[in-house]
Chain A
Amino acid sequence: MNYFPDEVIEHVFDFVTSHKDRNAISLVCKSWYKIERYSRQKVFIGNCYAINPERLLRRFPCLKSLTLKGKPHFADFNLVPHEWGGFLLPWIEALARSRVGLEELRLKRMVVTDESLELLSRSFVNFKSLVLVSCEGFTTDGLASIAANCRHLRDLDLQENEIDDHRGQWLSCFPDTCTTLVTLNFACLEGETNLVALERLVARSPNLKSLKLNRAVPLDALARLMVCAPQIVDLGVGSYENDPDSESYLKLKAAIKKCTSLRSLSGFLEAAPHCLSAFHPICHNLTSLNLSYAAEIHGSHLIKLIQHCKKLQRLWILDSIGDKGLEVVASTCKELQELRVFPSDLLGGGNTAVTEEGLVAISAGCPKLHSILYFCQQMTNAALVTVAKNCPNFIRFRLCILDPTKPDHVTSQPLDEGFGAIVKACKSLRRLSLSGLLTDQVFLYIGMYANQLEMLSIAFAGDTDKGMLYVLNGCKKMKKLEIRDSPFGDTALLADVSKYKTMRSLWMSSCEVTLSGCKRLAQKAPWLNVEIINENDNNRMEENGHEGRQKVDKLYLYRTVVGTRMDAPPFVWIL
């Protein structure tokens, strides 16, 4: 097997970067396993409770870059209590103790504290990159430690986190010697920003490519920042209210023209739409546009902007764009690959929301489309069949009809056939979210055709256990299955316990699974953590005489090599 010395094999492995491929390599033989683990620098952990830091470091002592995900996806929608888990601190403590040369840390849905940020900033001399997505538990004091102590900081990227803003001076904690910043994203901070410190920081960061500002950075400051950073590639505008005749607006216009590298635009958290025209000169270069937080930009101003963006590959927008607006997108943005249309009115029933017509128009006009997230008022089977025909290349297809049990609004039939057409045509589909009125039939189709499906989100769908069984039996590559408010119970849950070895996790809330069913599962599968989340009555499950047949409100199970976790709060019961 080994015709080459280890160093050569290792060199070959250097070219293999995807986690999946590296995992596969390590399974070939003992010698490759050994070479791979010592050369592995990047590790991705999709569930922080599947393994612990000690074991991670034992296997990969040369770790430089770590990605960790904590809470299950449905935590985004407030279905998981805040104290459930996903704590960062034990990881940092273990990594610090081991003296590993950590350089990059990427976290999603973890609980991060100021203490852990402080420890992080002090423990790793070469630490370069911190990306926090949908995390919580920390304040700007934690950011101040990162700014002050990480001498070679390249990326500080805060995406949609809940950060307690102490309106402190964290930006001024970057020492004057810090000139290495490439990414600075603090759009999610609520409080005031020290504009002087920010401008000085940007001015001394010649490598800065991505800058995303928060609401508190007004237009005149933006103009000055853009003058300092004409090399910017990715810009998040904070506050964009201005007077079209004002001097700062004219300065901004001039500065924007010079930003010839600008490819991605986002923000506009507060915006005066009639001044968007300042950006028109660079729109033809844009590949990514995120206006999903810009509620004030709609109508003709939005359309005019989009008409300039002929090279757009990624568009995130609010449904106030309407079907007509989507038709403009379809005729303008021929390179479009990813589209997300978010609801602008969360109370439902908005007049400007989008329908199946917008979706069909996009599918017809944008042949390269492979990812879509679409919140809409209504859908039809016919439209989905057309979309499937137009776009057989979907990798991600997430449809959310705002009324989740709404049938085809023309025929009043369930939407089984429409989704069936999608899974049949899109052979590379990896992620699917369903909504609308759906019976077991749609799951039959999914089990039959969705061979590459890794993640499936189900809500208010199906009739019997058969539905869930079709999916568990058919989708060989399933990794994450999340179900809410659907009539699947113990029979489906227990049918094939070994299936959960190949899956990362299963979430079921407001379904028909019972406590005794879950207990039986836990017994059969000791390599699973079967968690019952029970916020309302801590001990009721035990005391009640009908204990076994009590339905479980929230079930979250996941494979793990380290057994029951020790940090679960009292309302989480691990069987």
Chain B
Amino acid sequence: MEKEGLGLEITELRLGLPGRDVAEKMMKKRAFTEMNMTSSGSNSDQCESGVVSSGGDVEKVNDSPAAKSQVVGWPPVCSYRRKNSCKEASTTKVGLGYVKVSMDGVPYLRKMDLGSSQGYDDLAFALDKLFGIRGIGVALKDGDNCEYVTIYEDKDGDWMLAGDVPWGMFIESCKRLRIMKRSDASGFGLQPRGVDE
């Protein structure tokens, strides 16, 4: 979009120009659109800029909606609400880091903090400890040799085999874990994989 000669001088927090400019008055109405053009002029330290900078998946609709959000205080949504709605956009379902872990045959669920594990190995160890049963973790490392299969529910609600994706990707999308008996999963041809972390 063209900046019609006025350019980037008009920013909201400007202290003021010497004297009054009639042309400037007429520009007031376009001021908002001009503000959209400034890439990093505003000092909004609010989450809008946070979202903008991290938003690889920000949709480009109409005229750069990402830039629009940089006008301080617009849209007039109170900062508490802004923070909480941004949270919805950027946090994963993991919430406080704890996910539910269920194990077949065990009548109660457990909760564990994925954030406290550094990788699949750590997770394996933690799962073993959680249910006091050795060998769960082995499933994560070596697909074939054990009684259990560890699966997890991802952000889309699908149940996935744990261990396929890099750890970082895993903890971002994992909503809950389930430890299934391998016998229940038989017939699904689980291929051994060159797993490593």
Contact = CB atoms under 8 A, between A and B. Distances in A.
B60 to A, nearest CB: 8
A349 B65 contact: yes
Which secondary structure dominates chain A's binding surface? loop
Contacts of A459: 74, 76
Given A293-B84, A342-B77, A485 B69 contact: no
Interface string B63-77: 001101100111111
Contacts of B106: none
Interface centre among A344, A459, A537, A551 (most CB of B within 10 A): A551
Contacts of A464: 25
B99 to A, nearest CB: 10
Given A346-B48, A405-B32, A437-B29, A77 B73 contact: yes
Given A78-B46, A343-B77, A347-B66, A551 B95 contact: no
B80 A161 contact: yes
Contacts of B32: 403-405, 460, 485
B69 A348 contact: yes
Interface string A272-299: 0000000000000000000011011000
Contact of A76 (B33, B78, B84): B78
Nearest to B44: A78
Contacts of A404: 32, 74-75
Interface string A459-491: 110011000000000000000000011110100
Contacts of B93: 241, 270
Which secondary structure dominates chain B's binding surface? loop
B25 A348 contact: no
Contacts of B82: 346
A239 B88 CA distance: 13
Interface string B13-26: 11111111000010
A488 to B, nearest CB: 10
A349 B59 contact: yes
A149 interface: no
Contacts of A74: 73
Interface string A500-541: 000000000010101000000000000000000011110011
Contacts of A537: 15
A269 B17 CA distance: 46
A216 interface: yes
A463 B74 CA distance: 20
Given A534-B15, A552-B16, A348 B68 contact: yes
Contacts of B95: 215, 239, 270
A549 interface: yes
B18 to A, nearest CB: 4
B97 to A, nearest CB: 11
Contacts of B144: none
A551 B68 CA distance: 25
Contact of B75 (A400, A535, A550): A400
B85 A344 contact: yes
B73 A460 contact: no
A549 B17 CA distance: 8
Given A216-B96, A550-B16, A347 B58 contact: yes
A269 B80 CA distance: 13
B76 A486 contact: no
A402 interface: yes
B15 A550 contact: yes
A160 B17 CA distance: 38
Nearest to A544: B18
Given A485-B31, A485-B32, A487-B25, A77 B18 contact: no
A489 B33 CA distance: 22
Contacts of B80: 134, 160-162, 188
Nearest to B80: A160
Contacts of B15: 534, 536-537, 540-541, 550-551, 553
Interface string A433-460: 1000100000000000000000001011
Nearest to A76: B78
A166 B25 CA distance: 49
Interface string A188-214: 100010000000000000000000000
A375 interface: yes
B16 A553 contact: yes
B29 A78 contact: no
B16 A346 contact: no
B155 to A, nearest CB: 11
B76 A346 contact: no
A79 interface: yes
Contacts of B48: 346-347
A346 B29 contact: no
Contact of B76 (A76, A534, A541): A76
A536 B69 contact: no
A78 B15 CA distance: 17
16 contacts: A77-B79, A78-B73, A160-B80, A160-B81, A161-B80, A192-B96, A215-B95, A270-B95, A293-B84, A346-B69, A348-B68, A400-B75, A460-B29, A487-B28, A550-B16, A553-B16
Interface of B: 12-20, 25, 28-33, 44, 46, 48, 51-52, 55, 58-59, 61-62, 65-66, 68-69, 72-82, 84-86, 88-89, 93, 95-96
Given A405-B29, A405-B30, A550-B18, 7 more contacts: A74-B73, A76-B78, A215-B96, A239-B95, A342-B85, A489-B20, A510-B12
